[in-house]
Amino acid sequence: MSWVGGLAEWEEGNTTYLSVAFTWKLDEAYTRAVFARSQGRRVVAGGPALFLTKMQHQLADVAEIGAHHPDAIARHNPDATFASRGCPVGCWFCIVPAMEGRNFTLLPDFPVRPILCDNNLSALPAEYQDHIIARYQAARVTLKDANSGFEPITFDREVYERWKPLVNAGKGPWRFAYDETGEGKDVRRVMKMLSGEPQKRKRVYVLIGNEPFAESMARIQEVIDHGCEPHVQPYMKLNARKRTPHPRHDWNHQLLVDVARWANGWVWKKAPFADYKRSRRTRPRDHYDSQQGLFV
């Protein structure tokens, strides 16, 4: 199954529910809420986009805001689930610590589904990681993707060996991030640990734009040199009203888009970025995956 793209809508009785993942979906959510209200329906809206306290939006005029709906993730993708919420890392560009907390909330009776969206699997208590894996094995559900991946600083040999049978059985990717230059030591350790895995199944999220161009490109090149696939994510403001990257340092909007398309279109396998020409008819696909925030 595929993701709905950041805005889920469903009905229960006389209530229309809206779950808004991204702030650039708020205007569309408002339009849907107005239509539902015109039909005499109650409207309830929630989701990460509405958690941002500084985000004032007219959606609040036509919908009840902030209600928690159990398993709303399944409305975005029926194959998706969470076994835990929260993340102890506290990255400045991530909403998770503020919204879900820096302490884990464990959900031991989680619905077992093919896409596991937990924010930081490798930092979970070892016994709870074992619990998640046992639940998949008992339910005979194939783990096709650990969507948010593992954290390099906590991904060690024990974590690798624990998850390897489940991840490899589903033939999904090993996902982790290389967001800042300071993470280099841990990221290189993880890439070396995964050296025996196929390149196409080692996908490293590389945030660009949060550091100057040279540092960001060096991180991408490190990923390539270690036999992994970079999946580049241009920096965006958490409260962005449009689905566009936010230039910082020596970046501009077009450069952020070009690097993302060069990397996520696998053009790096044929030519360095210096030779990338966006005007070529053979340019890579530029489909935007709004769930991952990536050009893929």
Residue 281 pLDDT class (50, 70, 90 cuts): very low
Instruction: Say yes or no to pLDDT of 127 above 50.
Output: yes
Cα–Cα distance for residue pair 29/20, rounded to 1 Å: 7
Residue 96 pLDDT class (50, 70, 90 cuts): confident
Q: What is the pTM of this model?
A: 0.86
Residue 1: predicted pLDDT: 64
Taking alpha carbons only, the member of 90, 151, 147 closest to residue 120 is 151
Q: Which two tokens stand for residue 233?
A: 């994510």
Q: Which helix (H) or strand (E) holds 44?
A: strand 42-46
CATH of 79-171, one of 3.30.750.210, 1.20.1440.230, 3.40.50.1240, 2.60.420.10: 3.30.750.210
Q: What is the mean pLDDT of the chain?
A: 88
Q: Which helix (H) or strand (E) holds 137?
A: helix 126-139
Comparing 164 with 89, the larger pLDDT belongs to: 164
Comparing 53 with 238, the larger pLDDT belongs to: 238
- What percent of the chain lies above the pLDDT cut of 70? 91
Rounded to an integer, the average pLDDT of 78-100 is 82
Could you state, in order of their start, the residue ranges of all structural domains in the chain? 7-65, 79-171, 173-296
User: Helices then strands (H, E): number in the chain?
Assistant: 9, 14
